Amino acid sequence: MTATTKYDKERFSLTTLTEREQDGLVSALSDAEMKLLQAVKNRYIAEVASNVGVFDDIFFVRFLRARGFDEGKTCKMLDKYFKWRTDFKVNELIKSNFIERMLYVKKHYPHGYHGVDKLGRPMYIERMGVGNVPELMKVLSQEQILQYYVQLYEYLKHVILPACSIAANKCVEQAVTIIDLKGVSVTSINGKTKSLVQGMAKMSQDYFPEILGKMLFVNASSIFSIIWAIVKPLLDSKTIKKVTVISSKEKSLEALAELADPDQLPQFLGGACPNDEWSTNAVGPWMDPQIIRHLQDKYTSVPVELYDLAYLRIKTAATINLSDRDLGQL
């Protein structure tokens, strides 16, 4: 796949899931797959004993799907996951308040969950061409940035996706990623940028499988071939099939209009939401206090700290000068 990949309405699809799978990845399992799911769950009773509600059926099904329902490969992947979860201290990260870190990352790498597509899935948007990763990494290490993104992934799994399910009145178990490449230049892709992009791609692939439903690279120029060369080796064939690359502005806007309604998209993607507010004034079911209260009452096994991360639903941008702060506080 290169930057010249063309948008083809006949080929473009919003999801790779079947209609039955869209009704729920667990309910779509065959009898044989259900038995395999139970066998894998039984193998990890000790690892999930502290919170069975968090490590539920959909958690295990994501790993099974990622490895083609091969029990041996799935267990190997899960072994690595549980070791990583302990080594990376994920349970502690969930409880951390990263508001200053988040604001700094957003300042130098605009991103965030904003709106839902026509299938009810939350949309994660990045403006790679507006960002400045080298400047970001003068203050934050790659590990600090990845810690923040792990927390964001946990928030996606346990708050955003369930909130979207309530709003859509159906299972919403995957998200959409939109990467806007307008303005990306060769000079912005140095060694640290490559390392961060690879680290984020590997983390997503290895530890948060089957959450991605669709990825669009829009406004792609010839520079995309460099980005794709960095990311593609880390992705499996199933993930690559979920990727669509669109070069022209006209075709990018056409695809985005097919993906989501205007009131769910920022203006720079052809929507109605102001460009200066989209990353700090999110639109989506997870912004509804009534839905959040319902989730807290229904899913009591989810760490309460995730629901308390109100800053991930921040409504007002804050200007913070972090250059003279103790980096340990970030």
Above 80 in pLDDT, residue 66?
yes
The answer to whether residues 146 and 35 belong to one domain is: no
Domain-embedded: residue 323: no
Least confident of 17-31, 55-69, 229-243: 229-243
The answer to whether residues 123 and 185 belong to one domain is: yes
Residues 155-173, mean pLDDT to the nearest whole number: 95
CATH classification of the domain holding 246: 3.40.525.10
Contacts of 259 (CB under 8 A, 6+ apart): 14, 117, 118, 123, 176, 214, 216
**pLDDT band, residue 140 (cuts 50/70/90):** very high
Structure tokens at 14: 């919003």
pLDDT digits (tens, 9 = 90+) for 191-235: 888 899 899 999 999 999 999 999 999 998 877 888 888 888 888
Above 50 in pLDDT, residue 45?
yes
Q: In angstroms, what CA-CA distances link 220 with 216, 223, 259?
A: 10, 7, 17
The answer to whether residues 222 and 116 belong to one domain is: yes
Of 47, 63, 87, the position where a domain reaches its end is 87
Contact 272, 283 (CB under 8 A): no
Q: What is the pLDDT of residue 317?
A: 41
**pLDDT band, residue 74 (cuts 50/70/90):** very high
CATH classification of the domain holding 63: 1.10.8.20
Domain that holds residue 147: 94-274+282-312
The answer to whether residues 37 and 154 belong to one domain is: no
Q: In angstroms, what CA-CA distances link 314 with 121, 172, 274?
A: 20, 23, 16
Contact 207, 81 (CB under 8 A): yes
The answer to whether residues 46 and 111 belong to one domain is: no
Write down how long the chain is: 330
The answer to whether residues 161 and 53 belong to one domain is: no
Domain-embedded: residue 114: yes
Domain-embedded: residue 249: yes
Q: What is the pLDDT of residue 12?
A: 64
Domain-embedded: residue 16: no
Nearest Cα to Cα of residue 115 among 287, 290, 250? 287
Query: How many CB atoms neighbour CB 208 within 10 A?
Result: 19
Contact 184, 245 (CB under 8 A): no
Give 179's strand partners.
Answer: 126, 217
Q: What is the pLDDT of residue 166?
A: 96
* Number of domains making up the chain: 2
The answer to whether residues 69 and 192 belong to one domain is: no
Of 64, 87, 110, the position where a domain reaches its end is 87
Residues 129-148, mean pLDDT to the nearest whole number: 91
Nearest Cα to Cα of residue 203 among 164, 254, 137, 148? 148
Of 87, 111, 139, the position where a domain reaches its end is 87
**HSE-CB for 95 with a 13 A CA cutoff:** 4
